[in-house]
């Protein structure tokens, strides 16, 4: 008696029904808050400090961020070496201060923090006049002249008077002052530039422009202050930034004349101090150096809000300490595999590896697509050359594969070392690639070169890189990640799609392109 085969359509329908029922139950019966999984961007900043002591007392200090209505410090940690670290609140902000009574030799210090920031934008009421906007008693220090902010200098006073509009509106004055300073030529930072020097030169870096804008505002009775911080961008840097806050209508409104932000700031601005402060102070003759290493990450909104309420798969794995990033990578791999199946079964593209593109795309989460492809192609070429050299030794398959595996590891370590030396952090993470699969793929590339020619091997590699890109875009989609984490039953939908693709009986796209002449001829004959 012949066994009946299950109907694929019924299996697909059953999977979809089960997924739908589970999803509806999750929404209706479990008080499910999907918005808690919506990710917010956070920045990880590592402030690295180095110095060399000579047996004397040493002091090093830098401003660190505090939470306010625009930024939230999620967590912080530090390394003090032989020195003692304390944090103190000062007039300009919060200082991290390292001190040692008798310090000798090289010292490596660091202060790491994770922050979440948001963009702000103000609309200045056009009805506010300069006479109405003067600050109160608490703002007196933000109205006075200083050595570098020459509020009462004749040239600055004359310019401020000239910029006042006929109706005396604060909005019009600030726009005119902002545009005037913004039009200055750019001058790289070479030290402190006071307001009067910036005005006379007609060019300045961020600190000179900011001091001039502060001086113009104070001259017209508007409380104004410098703000220092960082522009957060992934990578390594040594430059900080300064902008301005002017008190209008009871609010401290931000302005950055260098980067064209009028009454607004983008989300990647991090405030470290307020006032005309120095970001770093340190003892003399200690060979002081510093560096900022910045990276970005995504965390659930619930984690930033401190609610501690995890949902979906995150709720299950958070209890045992599995990070959300790792969970996201795992749950998106089946979706990447479906993309590969689509290209192989429907489009008919010949690529390396069954699910290699999905796995490499997953590894590219840490490197980014382009640096990931530099590492991927570089390793393929390296192992191809190694495979050719091993061919002369006529080794058995398993020992040969073991040597190739070692070459892959060596190549990855070399790329990571180069990435560290060149401060290319994305390239340095190429060690996260799947080692065994890379070795097997490289061997197949070499065999194809020998058997089918270099052109076919390289075109297959190019198609593989393209499919990896499609997998990467799909697997890095925030919308899809949120859906998969919030509704893990969508894995059943992916299985249903895979079954449908597995039953594909039509012509593949590449076959249609190859035989389209015969197809058209047959249609014409009929």
Of 76-90, 189-203, 472-486, 495-509, the range with the lowest mean pLDDT is 495-509
Residues 408 and 495 both lie in one domain: yes
CB 147, CB 163: distance < 8 Å: no
Q: What is the pLDDT of residue 362?
A: 87
Q: What is the pLDDT of residue 467?
A: 92
Higher pLDDT, 255 or 81: 255
Highest mean pLDDT among 33-37, 407-411, 472-476: 472-476
pTM, rounded to two decimals: 0.68
The answer to whether residue 29 is domain-embedded is: no
Q: What is the band of 313 on the pLDDT scale with cuts at 50, 70, 90?
A: low
Residues 199 and 101 both lie in one domain: no
The answer to whether residue 77 is domain-embedded is: yes
CB 146, CB 212: distance < 8 Å: no
For range 358-384, the mean pLDDT: 86
Strand duo 264-265 + 251-256: pairing: unpaired
The answer to whether residue 7 is domain-embedded is: no
Domain with 97, as residue range(s), is 40-117+282-301
- For 65-144, strand residue ranges (E) read 71-79, 84-89, 94-117, 120-121
Q: What is the DSSP letter of 92?
A: S
The percent of residues above 70 in pLDDT, for the chain, comes to 86
CB 512, CB 351: distance < 8 Å: no
Q: Give the SS3 label for residue 103.
A: strand
For range 489-510, the mean pLDDT: 78
Residues 357 and 456 both lie in one domain: yes
Higher pLDDT, 449 or 510: 449
Give the pLDDT confidence of 139-173 residue by residue, as tens digits. 788 999 999 999 999 999 999 999 998 888 999 99
Rounded Cα–Cα distance for residues 213 and 223 (Å)? 11
Q: What is the pLDDT of residue 371?
A: 87
For range 46-50, the mean pLDDT: 93
The answer to whether residue 357 is domain-embedded is: yes
Residues 158 and 256 both lie in one domain: yes
Residues 323 and 436 both lie in one domain: yes
**CATH assignment at residue 287:** 2.60.40.2250
Q: What is the band of 301 on the pLDDT scale with cuts at 50, 70, 90?
A: low
Q: What is the pLDDT of residue 46?
A: 94
Is the pLDDT at 200 greater than 60? The verdict is yes
Structure token pair of residue 375:
């590492």
Q: What is the pLDDT of residue 72?
A: 92
Phi, psi of 290 (to 5 degrees): -145, 160
The answer to whether residue 400 is domain-embedded is: yes
The answer to whether residue 456 is domain-embedded is: yes
Which positions ≥6 away from 67 have C-beta within 8 Å?
Answer: 73
Of 68-72, 356-360, 420-424, 476-480, the range with the lowest mean pLDDT is 420-424
Residues 94 and 165 both lie in one domain: no
Give the pLDDT confidence of 242-254 residue by residue, as tens digits. 999 999 988 999 9
Chain-centre distance for alpha carbon 317: 24
For range 39-54, the mean pLDDT: 89
Is the pLDDT at 310 greater than 60? The verdict is no
Q: What is the pLDDT of residue 70?
A: 93
Residues 388 and 402 both lie in one domain: yes
Which positions ≥6 away from 377 have C-beta within 8 Å?
Answer: 461, 465
Q: What is the pLDDT of residue 243?
A: 96
Q: What is the pLDDT of residue 33?
A: 59
**CATH assignment at residue 252:** 3.10.620.30
The four Cα atoms 431, 436, 439, 442 give a dihedral, to 10 degrees, of: -90
Structure token pair of residue 453:
């020619």
Give the pLDDT confidence of 422-462 residue by residue, as tens digits. 767 777 777 777 777 777 777 788 778 878 888 888 898 99
Number of residues that this document lists for the chain: 526
Q: What is the pLDDT of residue 41?
A: 83
CB 317, CB 327: distance < 8 Å: yes
Which positions ≥6 away from 494 have C-beta within 8 Å?
Answer: 334, 335, 338
Is the pLDDT at 229 greater than 60? The verdict is yes
Highest mean pLDDT among 21-30, 73-82, 266-275: 266-275
Q: What is the pLDDT of residue 342?
A: 87
Give the pLDDT confidence of 330-362 residue by residue, as tens digits. 889 999 999 998 888 877 788 887 788 888 888
The answer to whether residue 10 is domain-embedded is: no
Is the pLDDT at 525 greater than 80? The verdict is no
CB 44, CB 114: distance < 8 Å: yes
Chain-centre distance for alpha carbon 409: 27
Which positions ≥6 away from 65 have C-beta within 8 Å?
Answer: 71, 73, 94, 113, 115, 229, 270, 271, 272
Residues 110 and 188 both lie in one domain: no
Residues 109 and 138 both lie in one domain: no
Q: What is the band of 94 on the pLDDT scale with cuts at 50, 70, 90?
A: very high
Which runs of consecutive H residues, i.e. helices, occur in 320-391?
Answer: 324-341, 356-367, 369-391
Of 51-65, 117-131, 311-325, 491-505, the range with the lowest mean pLDDT is 311-325
321 backbone φψ class: left, alpha, beta (φ>0; ψ -120 to 50): left
Residues 106 and 184 both lie in one domain: no
Phi, psi of 3 (to 5 degrees): -75, 140
Is the pLDDT at 268 greater than 80? The verdict is yes
Domain count for the chain: 3
Q: What is the pLDDT of residue 304?
A: 57
Mean pLDDT of the chain: 84
Q: What is the band of 113 on the pLDDT scale with cuts at 50, 70, 90?
A: very high
The answer to whether residue 19 is domain-embedded is: no
Residues 158 and 232 both lie in one domain: yes
For range 382-406, the mean pLDDT: 80
The four Cα atoms 513, 518, 521, 525 give a dihedral, to 10 degrees, of: -140
Residues 290 and 351 both lie in one domain: no
Is the pLDDT at 293 greater than 70? The verdict is yes
Q: What is the pLDDT of residue 272?
A: 96
Which positions ≥6 away from 475 have C-beta within 8 Å?
Answer: 332, 333, 335, 336, 358, 361, 362, 365
Give the pLDDT confidence of 453-473 residue by residue, as tens digits. 888 888 989 999 999 999 999
């Amino acid at each position: 008696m012949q066994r009946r085969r299950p109907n694929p359509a019924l299996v697909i329908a059953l999977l979809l029904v089960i997924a739908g029922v589970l999803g509806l139950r999750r929404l209706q019966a479990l008080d499910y808050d999907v918005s808690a999984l919506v990710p917010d961007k956070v920045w990880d900043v590592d402030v690295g400090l180095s110095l060399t002591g000579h047996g004397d007392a040493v002091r090093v200090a830098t401003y660190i961020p505090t939470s306010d209505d625009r930024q939230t410090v999620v967590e912080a940690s530090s390394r003090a070496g032989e020195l003692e670290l304390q944090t103190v609140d000062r007039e300009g902000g919060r200082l991290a201060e390292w001190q040692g009574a008798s310090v000798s030799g090289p010292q490596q210090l660091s202060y790491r923090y994770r922050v979440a920031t948001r963009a702000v934008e103000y609309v200045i009421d056009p009805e506010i006049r300069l006479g109405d906007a003067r600050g109160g008693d608490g703002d007196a220090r933000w109205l006075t002249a200083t050595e570098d902010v020459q509020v009462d200098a004749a040239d600055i006073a004359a310019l401020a008077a000239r910029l006042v509009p006929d109706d005396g509106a604060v909005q019009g004055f600030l726009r005119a002052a902002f545009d005037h300073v913004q039009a200055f030529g750019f001058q790289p930072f070479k030290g402190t530039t006071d307001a009067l020097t910036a005005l006379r030169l007609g060019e300045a870096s961020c600190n000179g422009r900011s001091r001039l804008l502060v001086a113009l505002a104070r001259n017209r009775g508007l409380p104004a202050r410098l703000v220092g911080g960082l522009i957060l961008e992934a990578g390594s840097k040594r430059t900080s930034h300064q902008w301005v806050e002017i008190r209008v209508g009871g609010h401290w409104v931000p302005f950055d004349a260098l980067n064209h932000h009028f009454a607004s700031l983008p989300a990647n601005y991090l405030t470290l101090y307020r006032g005309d402060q120095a970001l770093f102070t340190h003892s003399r003759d200690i060979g002081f150096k510093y560096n900022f290493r910045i990276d970005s990450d995504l965390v659930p909104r619930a984690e930033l809000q401190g609610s501690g309420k995890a949902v979906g798969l995150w709720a299950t794995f958070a209890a045992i300490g599995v990070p959300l990033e790792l969970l996201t990578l795992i749950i998106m791999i089946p979706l990447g595999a479906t993309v590969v199946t689509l290209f192989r079964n429907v489009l008919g593209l010949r690529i390396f590896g069954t699910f290699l593109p999905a796995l490499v795309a997953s590894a590219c989460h840490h490197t980014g697509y382009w640096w990931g492809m530099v590492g991927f192609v570089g390793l393929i070429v390296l192992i191809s050359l190694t495979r050719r050299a091993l061919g002369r030794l006529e080794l058995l398959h398993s020992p040969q594969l073991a040597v190739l595996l070692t070459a892959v590891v060596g190549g990855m370590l070399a790329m990571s070392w180069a990435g560290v030396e060149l401060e290319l952090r994305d390239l340095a993470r190429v060690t996260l690639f799947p080692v065994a699969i890379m070795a097997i793929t490289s061997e197949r590339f070499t065999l194809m070169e020998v058997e089918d020619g270099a052109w076919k091997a390289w075109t297959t590699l190019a198609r593989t890189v393209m499919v990896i890109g499609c997998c990467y875009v799909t697997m890095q989609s925030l919308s899809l990640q949120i859906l998969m984490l919030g509704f893990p039953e969508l894995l059943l939908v992916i299985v249903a799609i895979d079954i449908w693709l597995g039953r594909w009986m039509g012509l593949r796209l590449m076959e249609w392109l190859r035989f389209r002449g015969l197809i058209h001829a047959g249609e014409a004959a009929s």
